[in-house]
Structure 1
Amino acid sequence: MSPDKLRLDKWLWQARFFKTRTLAAKQVGGGNVRVNGERTLKPAHGIAVGDVLSFAQGRQARVVRIVHLGTRRGPASEAQELYEDLAPPEPRQPPPERVGERPTKKDRRALDALRAAEDGDF
């Protein structure tokens, strides 16, 4: 591979999108990563500066443009300089408001007994 290209799985790991390079390779091998809109199945696919990657990370869809290739897996601040995030930020939803107080231990035991009776577990 030429010096102006880098393996896709290695870049995803260096940019800290995946905790291990193996996880990054599994995502690519599973067909879950697109490079410039085209699905790729090879973790060794060569990527360059300017390429656009699309993939799922957890429950979030990520679309990033490669700005730098990087030479190592450094701290998060260094990793964030490797890409430009193109996906619009998802609005944060406030946590649901609690209805009433937390159940006591006695309440939980009563619920467990009720569920067990419904399931036929006596």
Structure 2
Amino acid sequence: MAAGEQRIDKWLFFARVVKSRSLAQKLAVSGAVRVNREKISHAARLVRPGDVLTISVHDRIRVLKVLDSGERRGPAPEAALLFEDLTPTRALAPAGPSTEEG
């Protein structure tokens, strides 16, 4: 394995995307994870810094850019250092038609 590479199931677990490594494996195998827009089908897929993950989990889509590989499942502030969240924020609903008269 090259420096900075890590199995996607371990990375998802260390980054606290899911609660257990077995759930991370199931997520990867289910087709709910894309790496650089490519759907993956196995938990052994390697990710490296710079990869962009699109993950469908808990009825929402998350887009995460991998910044580093993890060494352990640490506290949330430590896990947050492993990725940059690129998930677009939901736009506010547009206001109704203007009632100004003029």
Normalising TM by the smaller chain, what interval?
0.7 to 0.9
What is the distance in 2 between the residues matched to 1:77 and 1:57? 20
| Matched AA of 1:67 | L
- Is 2:58 the partner of 1:58? yes
Q: Tell me the TM-score normalized by structure 1.
A: 0.71
Shift of 1:4: 2.3
Match of 1:48 in 2: 48
Relative CO higher for 1 or 2, CA cutoff 8 Å, sep ≥ 6? 2
Match of 2:19 in 1: 19
Gaps of 5+ in 1: 93-122
Runs of 4+ in 1 over 2 A off after TM superposition: 1-4, 89-92
Q: Tell me the TM-score normalized by structure 2.
A: 0.84
Shift of 1:70: 1.8
Match of 1:7 in 2: 7
Shift of 1:91: 6.5
Report % sequence identity.
42
Shift of 1:44: 0.6
What is the distance in 1 between the residues matched to 2:3 and 2:36? 20
Match of 1:112 in 2: none
What is the distance in 2 between the residues matched to 1:13 and 1:37? 20
Gaps of 5+ in 2: 93-102
The alignment covers a number of residue pairs equal to: 92
| Structure whose alpha-carbon radius of gyration is higher | 1
After superposition, give the CA deviation of every residue in 1:38-73 in whole Å (9 maximum; x if it has no partner). Answer: 001110101100000001120210000001112111
What is the distance in 2 between the residues matched to 1:50 and 1:12? 15
1:1-122 alignment, distance < 5 Å? 1-90=1-90
